[in-house]
Amino acid sequence: MQETHVQLDCTIDLEDAESDGALQRALSSGLLEQVVSRTVQAVHIQQPVTLSLLITDDAEIQALNKQYRQQDKPTDVLSFPLLDEPLVDAPADQLWQTPEETGDMDRQQGKGAHQAFISPEDVPTNLGDIVISWPTVTRQAEQAGHQAAYELLYLLSHGTLHLVGYDDQTEAGYQVMVHLQESIMQEIDWNTLSR
């Protein structure tokens, strides 16, 4: 399988991030890019892509969750797709819906909507943004009994699947996403974390 070109722009907005050994190992391992690349390959995306990742704290992700999802609580991962329609080819019950499909007349008619952004052919497709809460990652990893790096990469794959069009709001979408994420995690070269 040919490797998909992925550009991942990662920003860390955490106090004491430099002294967090688990986070620093995950960041320097090259596994973040590997997970994104394997995720887009797994869903048959072949064009070059770019996305941004923000690793932050519970307070910041709670503020974003409240602003964009009207849920005033921290969460583990948020995804903000820039695409106007899913990039993947999958059954409709596994994908997020466009305004036309949901009947959102305001967005269909351009009220409060944005103009579609079309990337030039020689520029990677910008998938959007992913935000992950590192404190939630470490809590969930401890509860599940695995490394924080595993949890971070699992959530990064999950967020990437959302950016390309998958949605876990239906049982079918949830099952497909979990299967893809678990398959991708089995392909990872975990030895790079100890180098």
Could you report the per-residue pLDDT of 175-184, keeping only the tens digit for each?
999 999 999 9
Q: Evaluate whether residue 110 is within a structural domain.
A: yes
Q: Evaluate whether residue 1 is within a structural domain.
A: no
Q: Which residue has the higher pLDDT, 109 or 73?
A: 73
Q: Evaluate whether residue 163 is within a structural domain.
A: yes
What percent of the chain is helix, strand and coil (3-state, nearest 5)?
50, 15, 35
- Here the CATH number for the domain that contains residue 145 is 3.40.390.30
H or E stretch at 8: strand 6-12
Number of domains in the chain: 1
Q: Evaluate whether residue 14 is within a structural domain.
A: yes
- Pick the range with the lowest mean pLDDT from 96-105, 130-139, 172-181: 96-105
Domain of 109? Answer: 6-194
Q: pLDDT at residue 110 above 70?
A: no
- Pick the range with the lowest mean pLDDT from 11-20, 45-54, 102-111, 170-179: 102-111
Long-range contacts of 113-119 (CB under 8 A, 24+ apart): 116/84, 117/82
Q: Which residue has the higher pLDDT, 1 or 74?
A: 74
Reported as a pLDDT band with limits 50, 70 and 90, residue 65 is very high
Q: Evaluate whether residue 155 is within a structural domain.
A: yes
Burial 130-165 (b: 16+ CB within 10 A, else e): bbbbbebbbbbbeeeeebbbbbbbbbbbbbbbbbbb
pLDDT at 192: 78
Q: Give me 97's structure tokens.
A: 């819906």
pLDDT at 105: 46
Q: Evaluate whether residue 26 is within a structural domain.
A: yes
pLDDT at 3: 63
Tell me what the pLDDT averaged over the chain comes to: 89
